[in-house]
Structure 1
Amino acid sequence: MVNLKINLPEHFLDEEVRCDFTVTKQMKELWAIELDLLAEFDRVCKKYDLRYSATGGTMLGVIRHQGFIPWDDDIDLMMLRDDYERLCHIASQEFKHPYFFQTEYSDPGSLRRHAQLRNSETTAIREVEEKWHYLFNQGIFIDIFPVDAVIDDPDLFQKQYQEAMALRASYTKKAKWSVRYHEGPNPVKNVVKGVVKSLNNSLFKKKYDYLKDYRAFENVCARYNNEETKYLSLLSFQFDNPKHYKTRVGWKNIVYKDFEFMQMPVTSDYDEILTIQYGDYMKMQKVSTIHGGLIIDTNQSYKDYFKNKEKK
């Protein structure tokens, strides 16, 4: 496993059984790297007085397990949009190698619609993306989601949703022909794509035009952030999913709770949030992660992974 800044408790990396589920040494190494990322993220947030909270399965893990859900393989965090934007602004000066704060602006092509803090000396490649050899950073990561206001008027919400989806379709299409260009199995199509990419990037200088639509998409998501709405949500991630709804009042009091051998902040409305998302959240059920399968390597970088794959 790569070197970490944090000191791991003795035997933390040992395989163990939690809730009748075997947590392997490989999973423990993944957790350790993610906890190291969390510690670095927390350092920067405290330095600049930026608020954040666990969300999703990580919040559930905090409350139900005082750590990771045994079968979970990631850390999900959320920030109010203003704090998120402040973090994006100072990230490049604070996060140094191997830590890399990835957004569409710092590393074009990932199209995640949220930020990820990654360890560049490791590998975490989505199985569905492996064959494309994308150039953006694909180290082990933690997710950071911006939180925006959900307007109470259903007609305004529907209009906002339609605008956001139109912009998302537009920037995705443009990015596919520039920064997300890759070679597929069809050689003729590869030549055509290469020519179009060259024209976009050289003659017409349209390589980053998609970022205008991407920024417009984010602005639409943040449209009602100055209004005192009842609910907030991860609009840029899954705009119309009510399971991501959070209460505004929860952000007025953030509490730290045990998470493995560290502390994790959660908004005070965690009971309501978890009930909205999971129902009877203290009842355990094993479900797959939202991002699907990952190719994980805690010993080599994603760049070396692709180089070694090409040699085979």
Structure 2
Amino acid sequence: MNLHNEHEILLKLLDEIQRILEDNNIPYFLIGGSAIGAVRNGGIIPWDDDIDIGIQREYFTGAVQALKQNCQSKIYIPSSKGEYILPFAKVVKKIPGEEVIDSETNINGAYIDLFPLDHTSNSEFGRLIHYFLFKLGHKIVVSKIKPEFLNNNLIDKLIYLTTSKLSIPIIFKLRDYYIKFGASVFGESNTFFNFGSPYGLDKEIYYKNEILKTQSMDFSGRKVPIATGYDRILRRTYGNYMVTPPKGRQHQKHLSEENKDDIL
């Protein structure tokens, strides 16, 4: 896989997404490794292979609708049809002449992830309950759509037996309910969580005063917004993110057809 080609595709896709979101007055900002790239590298981290965008839940549906209507690339969204099980959206663009496979979904192409940021509890215990409910809901979805990913333990076996009797739309509604009930229970909270995060409880939380405003940063020749509280957010998630990790800890999430069985 040629990361230079992929980065060029990603940046063109980012330009398109930024234009659509800004034309529709939808606030957004770079998060995760992309925010690190903006701060530390002035662009995409050299070994990274995607771009991450955060959007508060109240704007997320509008963002997805605007992209579906105006974006020329394929968009995968959380749905009840069963073909895509992640709780966030992916905007995907093929790379001419290359097969680039996302190891998590088997989607082929360069992609930008759009993560909805949901209200959650201001208290650690409340967040624990909310996170547990989400993990249970997502496990229900996995047991129905990709049962081969389940563990061979009693809990997973019971979940599988239960979900086998439920329809696909019902189980997706259950999963989404566990996430979105936070809007009604915690709708006035000052704490947000990225339920699509791979980092676990309380690693990728966002406090309102950290994301209320954004600032522009250079990102490979264009301006991108990041949250003004980016330093606190990134240190909470990654520790000392300004230190470049040793080569052995640099990894890509995409796998080409030639190396998809390698350990990265």
* TM-score exceeds 0.5: yes
Shift of 1:223: 2.4
Shift of 1:213: 2.1
Listed one character per residue, the Cα deviations across residues 70-103 of structure 1 (whole Å, up to 9, x for unaligned) are: 222221111101111212233322123xx01111
Q: Identify the residue that residue 103 of structure 1 maps to in structure 2.
A: 77
Shift of 1:68: 1.6
Between the aligned partners of 1:227 and 1:128, the Cα distance in structure 2 is: 31
Residue 215 in structure 1 maps to residue 208 in structure 2: no
Q: Which runs of 5+ in 2 are unaligned?
A: 149-163, 259-264
RMSD: 2.9
Is the Cα–Cα contact under 8 Å of residues 134 and 195 in structure 2 kept in the other structure? Answer: no
Q: Which runs of 5+ in 1 are unaligned?
A: 1-24, 181-199, 298-312
Listed one character per residue, the Cα deviations across residues 168-215 of structure 1 (whole Å, up to 9, x for unaligned) are: 1222222237xx9xxxxxxxxxxxxxxxxxxx9xxx9x8xx3233223
Pairing of 1:1-312 with structure 2 (within 5 A): 26-96=2-72, 99-105=73-79, 108-120=82-94, 123-127=99-103, 137-176=107-146, 209-225=167-183, 227-238=187-198, 240-286=200-246, 287-289=249-251, 292-295=253-256
Task: Name the SS of the counterpart of 1:79 in structure 2.
Answer: strand
Task: Name the SS of the counterpart of 1:242 in structure 2.
Answer: coil
Between the aligned partners of 1:150 and 1:114, the Cα distance in structure 2 is: 17
Moved over 4 A (4+): none
Is the Cα–Cα contact under 8 Å of residues 80 and 169 in structure 2 kept in the other structure? Answer: no
Shift of 1:256: 1.4
Task: Name the SS of the counterpart of 1:72 in structure 2.
Answer: coil
Between the aligned partners of 2:53 and 2:229, the Cα distance in structure 1 is: 15
Give the percent of matched residue pairs that are identical in Structure 1 and Structure 2: 20
Q: Identify the residue that residue 156 of structure 2 maps to in structure 1.
A: none
Is the Cα–Cα contact under 8 Å of residues 52 and 78 in structure 1 kept in the other structure? Answer: yes
Shift of 1:116: 0.6
Report the AA paired with residue 220 of structure 1: Y
Q: Which has the larger radius of gyration?
A: 1
Between the aligned partners of 1:294 and 1:106, the Cα distance in structure 2 is: 27
Report the AA paired with residue 295 of structure 1: S
Report the AA paired with residue 232 of structure 2: E
TM-score w.r.t. structure 1 length? 0.67
Q: Which moved more, 1:222-231 or 1:67-76?
A: 222-231
